[in-house]
Amino acid sequence: MKSEISRRKLLQNSGVAAATALGLGMKPSLAGESKVGSSQPLKGNINQSVVHWCFKKYWDIEKTAQVASQLGIKSVELTPAENWKTLKKHGLTCAIASSHGFKVGFNNPDNWDHCTEILRKRIDECAAGGVKNVITFTGMRDGISDEEGAKNCVAGLKKIIGYAEKNKVNLCLEMLNSRDDSHPMKGHPGYQGDHTEYCIDIIKQIGSDRMKLLFDIYHVQIMDGDVIRRIRQHKDYIGHVHTAGNPGRGELDEKQEINYPAIMLALQEIGYQGYVGQEFIPTRDPIQGLKQAVELCDV
């Protein structure tokens, strides 16, 4: 008799919990994930971020912030400054701000005024909002030789780096792969800064502690490989890190080739204190995929 009563009570409590989740407008899966932060606290040795554009199809900025907070993620990045108040409401930051986009960059002097104007505005927003990094790009080749493109990038970025220094904001030059032509956000054929050392050489020539590399593990794996050695070699220049599974830019799961726990341990080894942004394109339940990625990188 007692066992039947206990069973009935358990079913009633489960029904209440499910109804509560639905009443809050949450999917049952998200209601379950809300326990991640309390019942399975993250080690927190790696500061994790979620890149908003990847999940914009599923969640607005409010929902993204909720999910990030529940999973122990500290940042939602590459989202406009008008969204930063929402992030702060949930105890989050924006690890890196967006800027002029990868198609137009400093490799072409015709673009310098446009890129500089946008970067100056972003730097002002970052300085006011407590955001430490702004993304920047070389731009597409469009007939410009690699030698000329690098020279132009150095000259163009030198025009704005002083303003970044004054405001204590880092400019992070992203290396992107030019090999994958299957999807406009999985690869960027024609992008000039498509090798790690090419971007590093530009950064070194600029000669500022505020000029950094956005080390995108997915893109580096495709173009250069030898990821851990490169992390160790370029440790002084890495300002931000991105993830994704390769091939396909999907989840960080058993279907892809990159050993993310080992790479996260290498970042710890070099004393990296910045953020690791989860930038994969979901192919299944976005919450489950993000949860898996967060736990895998929590070494």
Check if the beta carbon of residue 199 is closer than 8 Å to that of residue 175: yes
Neighbours of 154 (CB within 10 A): 19
Give the span between the Cα atoms of 115 and 119, in whole angstroms: 6
Reading the block at residue 146, the tokens are 């690699």
Give the span between the Cα atoms of 100 and 116, in whole angstroms: 9
Taking CA 291 as the corner, what is the angle to CA 285 and CA 297, rounded to the nearest 5 degrees? 135
Give the span between the Cα atoms of 266 and 227, in whole angstroms: 10
Check if the beta carbon of residue 80 is closer than 8 Å to that of residue 95: no
Check if the beta carbon of residue 115 is closer than 8 Å to that of residue 126: no
Active site residue 147: no
Marked catalytic residue, from 33, 77, 125, 174: 174
Active site residue 279: yes
Check if the beta carbon of residue 196 is closer than 8 Å to that of residue 225: no
Closest by CA position to 201, among listed 233, 178, 232: 233
Reading the block at residue 120, the tokens are 């100056």
Known catalytic residues?
Answer: 174, 279
